[in-house]
């Protein structure tokens, strides 16, 4: 399978716990994006990487959220001290995206559904 993969697919945690999600993009893709999607809404941008560099972070990404892409391949998104409001689907996408290139088609993974009790 050469698509974008995300693990785990589902995560249930208690409030206050830390969680970490992983995204494996399409291998030759330079850009990697994280989004959050709640029921009935479109994806909300969280952050994106150009290779290993994190170029932009949304205001939605509080200090409890951190993302890494250490070798420009897979990425992790960590949420510390989870709150019930963090319950959502977390989507990862990748695109070919050379530096400052626009007109990028994004390929999305299946998402990780987080439930905070």
Partner 1 sequence: SQQGEEDPQALSIQEGENATMNCSYKTSINNLQWYRQNSGRGLVHLILIRSNEREKHSGRLRVTLDTSKKSSSLLITASRAADTASYFCATENYGQNFVFGPGTRLSVLP
What is residue 84's DSSP assignment? G
- Residue window 18-57: x/- pattern of binding to partner 1, with contact defined by CB under 8 A: ---------------x-x----xxxxxx--x-------x-
- CA 9, chain centre distance (Å): 12
Host H or E run for residue 11: strand 10-13
Q: Is 18 exposed, middle or buried (0-12, 13-18, 19+ CB in 10 A)?
A: exposed
Task: Give the bridge partners for 68, in sequence order.
Answer: 76
Taking CB under 8 A as the criterion, which residues in 78-117 touch partner 1? 91, 93, 100, 102-111
Q: Is 65 in the site for partner 1 (CB under 8 A)?
A: no
For partner 1, how many residues bind (rule: CB under 8 A)?
A: 24
Interface ranges with partner 1 (CB under 8 A): 33, 35, 40-45, 48, 56, 58, 91, 93, 100, 102-111
């Amino acid at each position: 399978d050469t698509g974008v993969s995300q693990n785990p697919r589902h995560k249930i945690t208690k409030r206050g716990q830390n969680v970490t999600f992983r995204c494996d993009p399409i291998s030759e893709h330079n850009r990697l994006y994280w989004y959050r999607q709640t029921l009935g809404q479109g994806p909300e941008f969280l952050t994106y990487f150009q290779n290993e560099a994190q170029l932009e972070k949304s205001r939605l990404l509080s200090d409890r959220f951190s993302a890494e892409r250490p070798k420009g391949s897979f990425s992790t998104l960590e949420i510390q001290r989870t709150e019930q409001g963090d319950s959502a689907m977390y989507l990862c996408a990748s695109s070919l995206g050379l530096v400052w290139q626009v007109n990028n088609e994004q390929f999305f993974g299946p998402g990780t559904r987080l439930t905070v009790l």
